[in-house]
C-alpha cells in the first residue's frame, strides 16, 4: 500500500471538510500548530538543561541577577540634544 494519489487525497479532503465543517478546520490546525510549537520548545529547553555545565554554588548566578544584567544591556538611554 503506497502513498495516496491526487484523486484519493481530494476525496479524503472532501470527507474531512464534510465531517468537521469549514469553521472547525482552521481551529484544529491552529491547535495542532500550538501543540507542535510547545513540544519543540520543551525539547529545546531539555537539551539546553542537559548541555549546561554544572556550576559550584558559590559561582552560580541567580536567575534574577541574569535577568537584571540582560535588562540593563537592552535599556535604551534617551539622547540629550544640546540646543
**Structure confidence by residue, pLDDT tens digits, 17-75:** 898 888 888 898 899 999 999 999 999 888 877 777 654 444 455 565 666 666 666 65
| Sole residue written with cell 484519493 | 8
C-alpha cell at 53: 555545565
Domain boundaries, the chain: 22-49
Cα separation values, 21 from 14, 16, 31, 46, Å: 10, 8, 16, 38
The confidence score (pLDDT) of residue 47 equals 80
Q: Which three cell numbers stand for residue 9?
A: 487525497
The whole-number pLDDT of residue 56 equals 44
Report the distance separating Cα 18 and Cα 25, nearest Å: 10
Cα–Cα distance measured from residue 39 to residue 44, given in angstroms and rounded to the nearest whole number: 9
Stronger pLDDT, 56 or 82, i.e. the higher one: 82
CA distance linking residue 45 with residue 52, whole number of Å? 11
User: With bands split at pLDDT 50, 70 and 90, how would you rate the model's confidence at 79?
Assistant: low
Amino acid at each position: 500500500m503506497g502513498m495516496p494519489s491526487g484523486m484519493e487525497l481530494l476525496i479524503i479532503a472532501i470527507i474531512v471538510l464534510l465531517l468537521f465543517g469549514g469553521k472547525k478546520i482552521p481551529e484544529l490546525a491552529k491547535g495542532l500548530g500550538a501543540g507542535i510549537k510547545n513540544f519543540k520548545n520543551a525539547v529545546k529547553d531539555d537539551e539546553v538543561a542537559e548541555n549546561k555545565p554544572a556550576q559550584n554554588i558559590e559561582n552560580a548566578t541567580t536567575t534574577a541577577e541574569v535577568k537584571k544584567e540582560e535588562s540593563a544591556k537592552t535599556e535604551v538611554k534617551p539622547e540629550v540634544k544640546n540646543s
